[in-house]
Each structure stands twice: as structure tokens, then as C-alpha cells.
């Protein structure tokens, strides 16, 4: 071997033949070094076949399902258009109980709101009151995790994120009504059963009810449109895959 595998020294005619196995540059015994390198290399450089490739957060949430077909693409496209128009409807009317409370989504949110009171009741009175609003917002996020991480359906996850935003919009009139307690309540519980009236009195923030309501509404609308953007990006990626 004319070149040392360790230091790269290139042997010349001046180097004595007797030292052919010894590198004049670094002094290693070349054959022994190569034998040792052959034994160590599989332990140090061989890639693990069991280790899955690492995926970033963006790559995960932009994954498409294994099966992509035209029917689901256009069906989901129509659903996105419908959700976008619905989000615009809510945004255009602002914090209006007649619009928000009279919507189909309010009837979806209400049973989960009531269940949240029961679910959080072991944690004390404050959490039992807050639990209704908290669970109606958390449930869509729980479904998002289930769809994205267990069912590998990120478009369905984007729809549940839209629902989370709408749940925040749904809460805005309830929060705004805290100083007045004029909204009709489930079961006719009266003023004493007003969740946000009680919560804001307990925290000494009743004067900030309108600010909290606006924040819930604006955050909700923002999440709804972010979810729509996510869904549309997935559909465009799916369309490119079908065209390839």
C-alpha cells in the first residue's frame, strides 16, 4: 500500500522497503491498523435499522394519508369552503348572542360544556364552574391529537382545530354577559348559575368582562382561519400528489 490509510502519507522511492508495513509519516503498523478498523467500524458507523427517521413538527402536521383519491380531495375542498363561509359569518356579526347562541355549533358545544362541569367537579367549586367552558375548548384539541398522531389524518385534525376556534367564539357572548346575567341558562338556574358571572366575581375581574369576551372572540376567529389555512395547504399538497 503506497498511501497510509490513517494520515494519508504517500510513500516515495526514498522509503526503505523493509519499512513497507510501517507508515513513515505517523509510524503505525498499517496491517494491524486496518484489521482493528475493520473490527470497530461495524460497531461505530453502522446505522441502526430499528431507529425510525426523525420527523420535524412541520413535516408531521403536513403529512398526507397513505391513500389519496380524487373523491376525498374534492369532498374535503367543499367542506373547507363551507367552513370558511361559516367563519366569515361569525366574524361579520361579532359578539352577537342571537347569532352565536342560535347556531348549529352551539347545540354541539352545549352538551360537552355541561359534561365539563361534572368532569372537573372533583377539583373544587372554581374548577367545576370553569370546567364547562374549559372542556368545550379542550375536547376539539384532544380530537386533533387523536386524528393527527393515531389516525394520521391531518385534514380531520385541521377541522377539529376549526372547532376549537369556534368554541372560543361560542364562549364570547357568555363572558360578555357576566355583569348582566341576562342570558337564558340551561335548566333555568337563574343568576346564581351564571358560570362567567361567578368566575369573574371570584377572581375580582368582573369589570374586564368585555375585554375577556373580545379576546375570546378574536382568538377564536384567528384559530378558525389558521385551521382553514392548514387544511387548504394539505389539500393543495394532495392535489399535487395526484397530478404527479
Q: What is the mean pLDDT of residues 88-109?
A: 97
Say if residue 50's pLDDT is above 90. Answer: no
| Together in a domain, 116 and 140 | yes
Cα–Cα distance for residue pair 132/203, rounded to 1 Å: 17
Angle at the Cα of 109 from the Cα atoms of 108 and 110, rounded to 5 degrees:
95
Q: Residue 174, Cβ neighbours under 10 Å: how many?
A: 24
pLDDT of residue 65: 82
- The rounded distance, in Å, linking the Cα atoms of 82 and 145 is 23
Whether residues 227 and 160 share a domain: the answer is yes
The pTM of this model reads: 0.78
Average pLDDT of the segment spanning 44-73: 76
Q: Look at the chain and report how many structural domains it folds into.
A: 2
Q: Do 35 and 80 fall within a single domain?
A: no
DSSP 102: T
Confidence (pLDDT) at 22: 75
Q: What is the mean pLDDT of residues 178-189?
A: 84
Q: What is the pLDDT of residues 200-218, one digit of tens each?
A: 999 999 999 999 999 999 9
Judgement on whether residues 125 and 70 belong to the same structural domain of the protein: yes
Please indicate, yes or no, whether residues 208 and 187 belong to a single structural domain of this protein. yes
Query: What average pLDDT does the segment 71-95 reach?
Result: 97
CB 148 within 8 A of CB 60: yes
Phi, psi for residue 182 in degrees, rounded to 5:
-100, -15
Question: Per-residue confidence at 15, pLDDT binned at 50, 70, 90?
Answer: low
C-alpha span between 164 and 22 (Å, rounded): 72
Shared domain for 82 and 183, answered yes or no, is yes
81 and 46 in a common domain: no
Range of the domain at 34: 1-51
More confident site: 189 or 130:
130
Pair 169, 218 in one domain: yes
Please write the tens of the pLDDT for every residue from 111-139. 999 999 999 999 999 999 999 999 999 99
Q: What is the DSSP letter of 204?
A: T
Q: For the chain, how far is it from start to end, CA to CA, in angstroms?
A: 51
80 shares its domain with 106? yes
Does 16 share its domain with 93? no
Element (H, E) at 202: helix 195-202
Statement: residue 46 has pLDDT above 60: no
Same domain, 44 and 159: no
Of 9, 30, 51, which residue constitutes the final position of a domain? 51
- Same domain assignment for residues 103 and 40: no
The residue ranges of DSSP E strands in the chain, in sequence order, are: none
The last residue of one of the domains, among 9, 34, 51, is 51
Amino acid at each position: 500500500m503506497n498511501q497510509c490509510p490513517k494520515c494519508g502519507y504517500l510513500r516515495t522511492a526514498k522509503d526503505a522497503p523493509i519499512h513497507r508495513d510501517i507508515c513513515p509519516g505517523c509510524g503505525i503498523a498499517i496491517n494491524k491498523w486496518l484489521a482493528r478498523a475493520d473490527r470497530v467500524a461495524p460497531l461505530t458507523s453502522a446505522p441502526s435499522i430499528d431507529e425510525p427517521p426523525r420527523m420535524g413538527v412541520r413535516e408531521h402536521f403536513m403529512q398526507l394519508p397513505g391513500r389519496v383519491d380524487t373523491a376525498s380531495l374534492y369532498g374535503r375542498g367543499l367542506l373547507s369552503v363551507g367552513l370558511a363561509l361559516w367563519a366569515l359569518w361569525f366574524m361579520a356579526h361579532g359578539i352577537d348572542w342571537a347569532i352565536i347562541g342560535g347556531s348549529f355549533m352551539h347545540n354541539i358545544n352545549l352538551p360537552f360544556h355541561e359534561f365539563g362541569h361534572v368532569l372537573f367537579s372533583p377539583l373544587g367549586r372554581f374548577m367545576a364552574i370553569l370546567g364547562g367552558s374549559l372542556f368545550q375548548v379542550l375536547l376539539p384539541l384532544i380530537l386533533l391529537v387523536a386524528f393527527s398522531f393515531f389516525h394520521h389524518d391531518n385534514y380531520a385534525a385541521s377541522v377539529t382545530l376549526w372547532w376549537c376556534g369556534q368554541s372560543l367564539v361560542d364562549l364570547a357572548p357568555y363572558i360578555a354577559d357576566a355583569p348582566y346575567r341576562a342570558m337564558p341558562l340551561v335548566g333555568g338556574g337563574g343568576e346564581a348559575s351564571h358560570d362567567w358571572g361567578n368566575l369573574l366575581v371570584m377572581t375580582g375581574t368582573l369589570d374586564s368582562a368585555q375585554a375577556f369576551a373580545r379576546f375570546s372572540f378574536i382568538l377564536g376567529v384567528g384559530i378558525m382561519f389558521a385551521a382553514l389555512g392548514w387544511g387548504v395547504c394539505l389539500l393543495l399538497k394532495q392535489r399535487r400528489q395526484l397530478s404527479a
